[in-house]
């Protein structure tokens, strides 16, 4: 028992331990191949810079080309404070530089994150250049402009200790790097980190599941800026000189290149990349035939890695390692068995559910809702009331406006006119994140999963939103030990019957399983009203039967609106049915009444009236 526990502890802290051992051994091993302390210091400073960048790019998926700004701000602040004598303690100066860099990170982040994707890359690059120009002329009295700031005094780190030589500096930098690494690992394994990974995988869905994506992205940006500021400060201390090229575009570019070469999303990748860069530069420059071409060689290697080895050196090593250690490919649980059959086996064959009495209070209400796209009116003056505890089906031929109406209820599509009320509150213009937080969740017609995350991790994103609200910047807690989340996740996985494959990545699931996971994502937000957009779309009849049984289970004690084309599903589940045609509501009532309604039959079922 004790041995098991130590083994478990060891396993959990293995990366930290490995980092510690490597940092201690580095100065004894690296010189064998010609490395110097000067090179080691540079590698670790780049590595520290890269830890933050990897949280931003590797983990969250935000590619910034403007990190040099924060490196420069931190570096020049630290250097200036020490040279001017305003501060004497290097640690305090480093902290000051880090804080200033983070503050600018907040401002630049707010602006750059107004746009996503390629815009973000362009904007960060442009703002990075802005700081270069600020450094070069308006602020050159403070920063020395093209000359940089020389004469940074040896680092006094308190207790009368002075750090002078590159060798002494190594141990200071290594200590800070180690602390930075442990912190970065904690961030990645925290509830906050889980949301960041989800943002990289499928940003739209994170928002719909009730998380304030913008705040998470901004926080990641500020974290990256802080790491950059600290690294910049160390650069000035270690060199005794703060060079203006900290602000250069090439600095941002070098950080990106090193991160990709080493392996993005691994935290240690940027350090590996930096080691390759720093070492190759010093070695290649000495080779006559290459000399000045070393950067072109690196450029070619970089392009090849982007094209062929997207996970970089670390990713390549881990693939080789797995291939080397794997004896037989373990069959993915849940894939080998026909999932539909397996599921049917465990779900009770018939669930008898009493039809809702429909006397509950109105929980969701749409008042004269209209949606126009230019001249096209997709939803035209639809009013709709949903009683608590009811299952309502929303039917209508293709193009009737069902999905548009649904999206307006869920807040993913803005309403042109009219009002939507939920649990006594107007939610018309709140947006999907706030609507989800209030307890109105939607599963999509087309799966919107987190493809590279496991089933469990997928569901966890939903559970986190329910448990901790739309923004929960808890970075130091270990999510793996969160009992509440674990329980909520297990329940949801059980409810959609995916326990067999809870560790498989979503992308490897069979279609029917993906569909169930899609429902599970909405379900795990523990909504008061669940909106299901064609849950059985694209499924075989046997899979449909499974879903219907699942839904009947889920329906106990929940209010559901379901858009569906399969009439067996509709009439088997619904308490009441609402029919849309060309954006208008043409009928509403019990399934029997709808089946008998001549107008519905004519318009929707396509059979002549009064057949």
Partner 1 sequence: MNWPLLWAQLFNGLTLGALLVLVAMGLTIIFGVLGVLNFAHGAFYMVGAYAAYAAFTTTKSFLIAIAAGAIVSLLLGVLIERILIRYFYKRPHEDQILVTFGIGIIMVEAVRAHFGGIAQRMPVPKWGEGAANLGFLYYPTYRIEVLGIVAAALIILYVALYRTRIGLVVRAGIEDQLMVSMLGINVTRTFLVVFGLGSMAAGFAGVINSPIVTVDPEMGAPVLVQAFVVIVIGGVGSFWGAMVGGLIAGEILSLTSMVLPAYSNVMLFAAMALVLILRPQGLFGVQGRQ
Q: Beta strands of 142-300 (E only): which ranges?
A: 149-150, 155-156, 162-163, 241-242
- CB neighbour class for 279 (10 Å; exposed up to 12, middle 13-18, buried from 19): middle
- Rounded to whole angstroms, the Cα distance separating 580 from 569 reads 17
Backbone angles phi, psi at 411, to 5 degrees: 85, 10
Should residue 35 be labelled a site residue for partner 1 when binding is judged by CB under 8 A?
Answer: no
Should residue 247 be labelled a site residue for partner 1 when binding is judged by CB under 8 A?
Answer: no
CB of 133 or CB of 321, closer to partner 1: 133
The two beta strands, 559-563 and 576-581, are unpaired
Tell me which of 1, 307, 349, 376 binds partner 1, using CB under 8 A: 307
Q: Residues 336 to 395: which contact partner 1 by CB under 8 A?
A: none
Should residue 497 be labelled a site residue for partner 1 when binding is judged by CB under 8 A?
Answer: no
Should residue 429 be labelled a site residue for partner 1 when binding is judged by CB under 8 A?
Answer: no
**Region of 115-123, 152-160, 313-321, 460-468 interacting with partner 1 (CB under 8 A):** 115-123
- Lookup: tokens for 166: 């590159």
With beta carbons less than 8 A apart as the criterion, state whether 208 and 69 touch: no
Q: What x-and-dash track marks residues 47-76 binding partner 1 by CB under 8 A?
A: ----------x---x-x-------------
CB of 83 or CB of 256, closer to partner 1: 256
The two beta strands, 391-395 and 440-443, are unpaired
DSSP-derived 3-state class of residue 308: helix
- Rounded to whole angstroms, the Cα distance separating 345 from 453 reads 27
CB of 34 or CB of 117, closer to partner 1: 117
Tell me which of 44, 45, 125, 441 binds partner 1, using CB under 8 A: 125
64's CB contacts (< 8 A; 6+ apart) are 53, 56, 57, 112, 120, 121, 124, 221, 224, 252
- Min dist CB 137 to partner 1, Å, is 4
Element (H, E) at 600: helix 598-600
Should residue 303 be labelled a site residue for partner 1 when binding is judged by CB under 8 A?
Answer: yes
With beta carbons less than 8 A apart as the criterion, state whether 259 and 53 touch: yes
Should residue 298 be labelled a site residue for partner 1 when binding is judged by CB under 8 A?
Answer: yes
CB of 63 or CB of 267, closer to partner 1: 63
Residue 589 pairs in a beta bridge with 577
Should residue 280 be labelled a site residue for partner 1 when binding is judged by CB under 8 A?
Answer: no
CB of 18 or CB of 142, closer to partner 1: 142
Should residue 564 be labelled a site residue for partner 1 when binding is judged by CB under 8 A?
Answer: no
CB atoms within 10 A of CB 397: 15
Tell me which of 91, 106, 130, 362 binds partner 1, using CB under 8 A: 130
Nearest alpha-carbon partner for 253 in 71, 461, 102: 71
Should residue 292 be labelled a site residue for partner 1 when binding is judged by CB under 8 A?
Answer: yes
With beta carbons less than 8 A apart as the criterion, state whether 74 and 229 touch: yes
Tell me which of 88, 137, 286, 542 binds partner 1, using CB under 8 A: 137
CB of 56 or CB of 81, closer to partner 1: 56
**Region of 249-257, 456-464, 511-519, 559-567 interacting with partner 1 (CB under 8 A):** 249-257
Cα R_g (the chain), whole angstroms: 29
**Region of 299-307, 312-320, 451-459, 508-516 interacting with partner 1 (CB under 8 A):** 299-307
Interaction site with partner 1 (CB under 8 A): 57, 61, 63, 111, 114-119, 121-123, 125-127, 129-130, 133-134, 137-138, 249, 253, 256-257, 260, 292-293, 295-296, 298-300, 302-303, 306-307, 310
């Amino acid at each position: 028992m004790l041995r098991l526990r130590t083994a478990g502890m060891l396993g959990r802290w293995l990366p930290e331990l490995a980092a510690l051992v490597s940092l201690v051994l580095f100065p004894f091993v690296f010189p064998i191949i010609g490395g110097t302390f000067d090179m080691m210091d540079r590698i670790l400073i780049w590595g520290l810079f890269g830890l933050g960048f990897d949280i931003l790019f590797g983990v969250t998926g935000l590619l910034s080309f403007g990190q040099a700004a924060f490196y420069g701000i931190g570096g020049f602040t630290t250097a200036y404070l020490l040279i001017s004598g305003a501060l004497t303690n290097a640690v305090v100066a480093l902290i000051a530089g880090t804080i200033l860099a983070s503050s600018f990170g907040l401002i630049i982040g707010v602006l750059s994150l107004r746009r996503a994707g390629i815009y973000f890359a362009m904007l960060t690059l442009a703002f990075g250049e802005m700081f270069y120009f600020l450094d070069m002329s308006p602020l050159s009295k403070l920063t020395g402009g093209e000359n940089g700031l020389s004469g940074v005094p040896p680092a006094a780190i308190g207790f009368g200790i002075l750090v002078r030589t590159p060798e002494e500096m190594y141990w200071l930098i290594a200590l800070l790097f180690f602390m930075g690494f442990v912190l970065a690992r904690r961030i990645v394994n925290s509830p906050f980190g889980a949301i960041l990974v989800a943002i990289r995988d499928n940003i739209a869905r994170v928002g719909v599941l009730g998380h304030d994506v913008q705040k998470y992205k901004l926080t990641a940006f500020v974290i990256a800026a802080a790491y950059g500021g600290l690294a910049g400060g160390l650069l000035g201390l270690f060199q005794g000189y703060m060079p203006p090229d900290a602000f250069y575009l090439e600095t941002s570019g070098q950080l990106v290149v090193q991160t990709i070469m080493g392996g993005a999303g691994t935290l240690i990748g940027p350090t590996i990349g930096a080691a390759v860069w720093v070492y190759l530069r010093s070695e290649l420059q000495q080779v006559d035939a290459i000399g000045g071409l070393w950067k072109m060689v690196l450029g070619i290697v970089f392009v090849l890695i982007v094209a062929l080895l997207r996970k970089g050196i670390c990713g390549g090593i881990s693939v080789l390692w797995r291939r080397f250690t794997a004896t037989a490919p373990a069959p993915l649980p849940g894939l080998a068995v026909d999932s539909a059959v397996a599921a049917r086996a465990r779900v009770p064959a018939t669930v008898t559910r009493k039809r809702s009495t429909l006397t509950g209070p109105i929980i969701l209400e749409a008042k004269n809702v209209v949606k126009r796209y230019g001249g096209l009116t997709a939803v035209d003056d639809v009013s709709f009331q949903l009683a608590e505890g009811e299952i309502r089906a929303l039917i209508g031929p293709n193009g009737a406006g069902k999905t548009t109406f649904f999206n307006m209820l869920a807040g993913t599509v803005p309403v042109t006119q009219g009002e939507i009320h939920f649990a006594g509150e107007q939610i018309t213009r709140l947006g999907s994140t706030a609507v989800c937080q209030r307890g109105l969740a939607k599963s999509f017609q087309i799966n919107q999963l987190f493809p590279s995350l496991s089933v469990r991790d997928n569901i966890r994103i939903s559970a986190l939103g329910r448990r901790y609200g739309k923004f929960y910047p808890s970075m130091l807690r270990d999510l793996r030990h969160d009992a509440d989340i674990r329980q909520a996740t297990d329940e949801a996985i059980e409810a959609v019957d995916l326990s067999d494959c809870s560790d498989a990545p979503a992308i490897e699931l069979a279609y029917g399983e993906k569909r169930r996971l899609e429902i599970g994502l909405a379900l795990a937000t523990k909504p008061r009203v669940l909106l299901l957009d064609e849950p059985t779309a694209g499924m075989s009849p046997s899979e449909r039967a499974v879903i219907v049984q699942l839904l009947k289970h889920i329906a106990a004690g929940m209010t559901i609106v379901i858009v569906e084309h399969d009439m067996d599903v509709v009439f088997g589940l619904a308490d009441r049915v609402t029919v849309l045609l060309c954006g208008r509501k043409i009928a509403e009532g019990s399934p029997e009444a709808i089946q008998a309604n001549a107008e519905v039959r004519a318009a929707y079922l396509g059979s002549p009236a009064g057949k």
